[in-house]
Amino acid sequence: METEALSKEELERFEQLITERYNTLLEEHRYREQSSILENQRESGAELSSYANHPAEAASDYANLTMNLNLAERDTKYLKQLEDALNRIKRGSFGICRICKEPIPIVRLEAVPTATKCVNCKNEEKKREQDEAKRA
């Protein structure tokens, strides 16, 4: 089954889509960062003395904090992937599987614009990883 390479118009459409996604995510990321900074400032303020008497409360705050950090880390990773996708559009390698160098079907790119591998190669890789995991 032959898959055709993306046309210029399709590439432009993806560029727009990825840029939009990138900006939205960045905005959310900044907003979350801002609100967690505000929260920290509030918590380290007047109520600080009563905090030491409530270890359970302090512990749950710590859990919240690490959860936010994990979220931020995931965001950062995805932002990087979107950035990479935009770079690939500029370089002309967007939508081409980096393993077999065949064009990735457009339906897959629409679902996963950050995809760098076609489904076949991705599955192959997954299979290899599972085999390796079994051997280990």
Distance in angstroms (rounded) separating the CA atoms of residues 4 and 1:
10
Question: Which of 26/100 has CB closer to Zn ion?
Answer: 100
118 lies in the binding site for Zn ion (CB under 5 A): yes
Nearest approach, Cβ of 67 to Zn ion (angstroms)? 36
How many C-beta atoms lie closer than 10 Å to residue 116's C-beta? 19
Is residue 116 within 8 A of residue 21, CB to CB? The reply is no
The strand ranges marked E within the chain are none
Per CB under 5 A, contacts with Zn ion among 86-115 are: 97, 99-100
Stretch of residues binding Zn ion (CB under 5 A), selected from 21-29, 43-51, 56-64, 116-124: 116-124
Burial class from Cβ neighbours inside 10 Å (0-12, 13-18, 19+) for residue 79 reads middle
Report the site for Zn ion in 8-47 (rule: CB under 5 A).
Answer: none
Minimum CB separation from Zn ion for residue 84, in Å? Answer: 17
Which spans of this chain sit near Zn ion (rule: CB under 5 A)?
A: 97, 99-100, 118, 121
